A and B are shown apart, each in its own frame.
Chain A
Amino acid sequence: MKKKNFDAGLYREGLRQLRVLGITMLAIFVLASVLVPLSDAVSLSAYPEWSPSYTVHYSSYLSQNPLILLSFPVAAPLLTLALFGFLNKRNACDFYHAIPQTRNALFFSFFAAIVTWLVILIAVPALVSEAVCLLFPKYLEIYPLSALQICTQALIASIGVAAAVLLAMSMTGTIFTNLVVALLIIFLPRVLIYVVSSSLDSALPYVASLGEPALLDSRINLITGMSLIPFGSGMADDIWSSWRSGAYTLLLGIVYLLLARFCFARRKSETAGQAAVSRHFQTVFRMTVALVICLIPLTDIFSATVVHNWSAGRIYGIVVWYIIAVIVYFLYELISTRKWKTLLRTIPGLGLLALVNVAILLSMYGFYSSESEIQPSAEEISYVKVVPYDGSSYTYYSTPLEMNVETKNYFDEKIADVEITNPDVIRMVSKRLVDTVNYYKADDQEKYTAYQGYDSIDFTTFAIQTGRKTIYRNILLSNSDYKELGKALKQIKEVQELYQNLPEYDPVNMSSMGELDADSAGRVYETLREEIKTMEFEDWYVLVAEAGSGHRYTIGSYILMTLVWYQSGKSYEIILPISEQMPKTWTCYMEELFRAADPDADTAMTAMQKPDVNVISLEINKIIDGRWINWYASDQTIGGEPAMDEVIGEDGEISYAMNRQLQTELTEAMQKAKDRLPEPGDDYYYISWNWEENGEFDGTYRYFVFQEGELPEEIESYFDKAR
């Protein structure tokens, strides 16, 4: 009889054995996939279409079907524990090992059954959820690409967890040890990396993580990435929409599966019901569990050593944590074996654990020392590049093609490709690197002289090329260092071309993130592109620098136009200031903006003049000193002056409507201003309002340029006070 690696009979048997559990979970998941979008549709249907609270619900697939997130932490381990649970019982284990099948066939056939159920548990609710959304197109949208991606990622993560649990079960023999070891397999490497790298990052703030391999990024692992979100590993959408994370997690799952198969084939049937398949394994697991606790005092020792910050309290804390680790060490043995007598035998293992602690500590300290000693002289540096700051955050946008795209600032990213060979800059970078390292090593940073006397110091990340090696460092620069750097950058032709030669408008790969639609944004963008070529580079450079950094405008008021642009697999955010220094662009922008207002606004303004029309809410917005200032007239009278009167309806019901005189005055002002466009530097207003006419509700919005004295006094004085 030929030895098989898969048996259809065993596979069917596996499916059958998981039937009850699978169907129960399927029922719960399908119910959730119906109820969540249905409840969205029901709550949206309560709002009239004009209401700001009513929007077509643009729902990411994750918010539409949140229970899919339970596939990998709940469904996968439950299915695996259920089907391979025979490994924990002697009689069951003997039964399965007696049947005329190879261990390979048993392993892969049963695992295939688990994967089949996972596919069902993920795909069926997804289809049901999308079907519910299709039934309510008025309220709900579907996002099939996102759904496909999320479902695929969920399946990958689930397979990974199932394989990890199976690996644990192949090395242990009780439910308790199955779960503990599975958690160790899944989380310990990431926790170790996270804790050690966090500790090193704190000790080495000047070492940028940009040069680190992608493996160290906790978001790369779908399973642990999601679990570490509360500790700051990134947004859920960011992790789950990354195909790179999916590929890595799949690879990890395959590694787990192969290891599990290896252990399963060698596993002795008689070890069922024992804590681990051998004493050596039991020792390793016990030590590893205790090591997790040891990480706390370990990193504390490292930190205290590096910053010379030992104190009695700290020492006490470290001792207490190690005592806890020892207790956990013995407790694990006791709970897993349920034998007191073996505790004595485990004592030598503590020595080994201590050695592991020392080894980790020495490795951390070795890394710390070697990194902090890398301080190339100016002569050793070929060039430097200014890269986006290591600690900067990314912006996330949703675009028609993809949910939650991570975008980076266009100018920062492109400048990062520019090699700066200016000797003054190189000397400055070399010197400031030494200063930065010494600053952090100093016992009293405030007294460190290299940075005394400056208004502020801030980090800038540099890529420093020495020979064939590139190192990435966050270097503290003073404001005069920045000026020098800025001066040097401005002299580089590539930088000038970068700023003054923006890419051509690409309607397919560029998206406008503001009020303008694609065509309007394209027209404004092209106007800007041409106009900046005629500007002084210095002026344009400063405008862009202040727009991108969020600083206040420098010349009059300006507004921003933001585009998201895909190029060569990357996404860029281009933030462009539109200042009155750019009159053509300003005028073009304002024309497009005003034209983009609601076409029914004019009709609405006329309606406002009717006596039976009640304005039930109104909002006036204006930019003052770079901020939007808002004036409200609503039944909650939020901000602004109360401008609402009580209106008693025919049935005695009380409602609120805008003060009639104020409404009249405002309407008159709006009528006068409706055809005006702002000149560069003019203030403009955005007004939105909702009204009721004979029981029917509606709303609209529009831009206006008012002249002095045109607005009702109470509104004008409100904005005057806000200056």
Chain B
Amino acid sequence: MIKVNQVSKHFEDYEALKEISCTIPPGCIYGMVGSNGAGKSTFLRLLSGVYQADGGEILFDGEPVWENPGVKQYITLVPDELYFMGGASLERMAALYATFYPNFSRERYEYLTETFGLNPKKSTNTFSKGMKRQAAILLALSAHPKYLFLDETFDGLDPVMRHLVKSLICEDVLERQSTAIITSHSLRELEDTCDQLALLHKGGLVLESDIQNLRTTQFKVQVAFHETYTEKKFAELPVLHYSKRGSVASLIVRGDRDEIAAKIAAMNPVLMDILPLSLEEIFTYEMEALGYVFDPSGYGFAEGEGEKK
């Protein structure tokens, strides 16, 4: 289990992370989403022991990660900016990984090399961006880590590779109860892979939730009545977002689906449809509920006049 407790990190005048706290259970695929500069990469580097937190603590099964090879030997990080030693081949990098990581598996490395279709003897300098990313992923997976951190990993991968990588990650998590943390700026990337999702915004952890829970407890209700009505009609319901077009109102509601459906049905609507939400929609409405307004000019949220609930 990873426990992050009130962790802060700043770079000179800029505060990258502000008192982040979260608990990531074992056997979990934890997704972290946020706009550029939100602090995702910083968070992963803190967890990997690359950066040292300025405040708070990071514990892996009760042990701190900073300057602790005993913990770090079970962590592999695939960063957004990859590094390979100058002119080194995949084979050479594998030899290096084998030196550092006690669980490094030669068999897995060879299997993955073949699966990814990479030439282990060629210099990594000759690899394309996508191939380099594949190489980094396969080296990380070959180390059989207990904790696998992937920072915007799916960039540069084609859809087939993306699917393959996701399935490999899931396989590791299921078979060996390892924990994966994947960061991305795209919710769609994480939607079908992650168990939990967190949203980072300007260094703060704004939202963190179980995806299944999010999907089942938030939904859209489209309803219409003969009579004229306003938002006040639904005052007793946990409405996150209300909009009306003509006589049809769209409600984004959080709560027990059956219970809420019964309550609306009791109001005798002419029309009532209960529709599932996409993860993107869920996050958008959750953020609005927290007082953040979606900024369509670039993907991101800004603090706005939304009511925090």
Contacts and interface: CB of A to CB of B under 8 A. Distances in A.
A94 B83 contact: yes
A337 to B, nearest CB: 12
B83 A100 contact: no
Nearest to B11: A270
Interface in A69-115: 89-92, 94-95, 97-103, 105
B79 A94 contact: yes
A13 interface: yes
A336 to B, nearest CB: 16
A268 interface: yes
Interface in A1-32: 1, 3-4, 9-10, 12-13, 17
Given A1-B70, A270-B11, A98 B77 contact: yes
Contacts of B76: 98
Contacts, number: 63
Given A9-B99, A268-B52, A269-B45, A102 B81 contact: no
A269 B82 contact: no
A493 interface: no
Contacts of B85: 17
A103 B73 contact: no
Contacts of B68: 3
Interface string A104-145: 010000000000000000000000000000000000000000
B304 interface: no
B82 to A, nearest CB: 7
A711 to B, nearest CB: 78
Contacts of B81: 90-91, 94
Interface string B206-224: 0000000000000000000
Interface string A223-239: 00000000000000000
Given A9-B99, A13-B96, A101 B69 contact: yes
Given A100-B72, A268-B51, A13 B99 contact: yes
Interface residues of B, number: 27
A279 interface: yes
Contacts of A100: 69-73, 75, 100-101
B171 interface: no
Contacts of B101: 100
Contacts of A103: 67
Contacts of B75: 98, 100
A214 to B, nearest CB: 40
B5 to A, nearest CB: 21
Nearest to B100: A99
B48 interface: yes
Interface of B: 11-12, 45, 48-52, 67-73, 75-77, 79, 81-83, 85, 96, 99-101
Given A13-B99, A279-B12, 12 more contacts: A1-B73, A3-B68, A10-B99, A17-B85, A91-B82, A94-B81, A98-B50, A99-B72, A100-B75, A101-B69, A102-B67, A270-B11
Interface of A: 1, 3-4, 9-10, 12-13, 17, 89-92, 94-95, 97-103, 105, 268-270, 279
Q: Which 4 A-B pairs have the closest CB atoms?
A: A1-B70, A100-B72, A9-B99, A100-B73
15 contacts: A1-B73, A3-B68, A9-B99, A91-B82, A91-B83, A94-B77, A94-B79, A94-B81, A95-B79, A95-B83, A97-B50, A99-B72, A100-B69, A100-B100, A269-B51
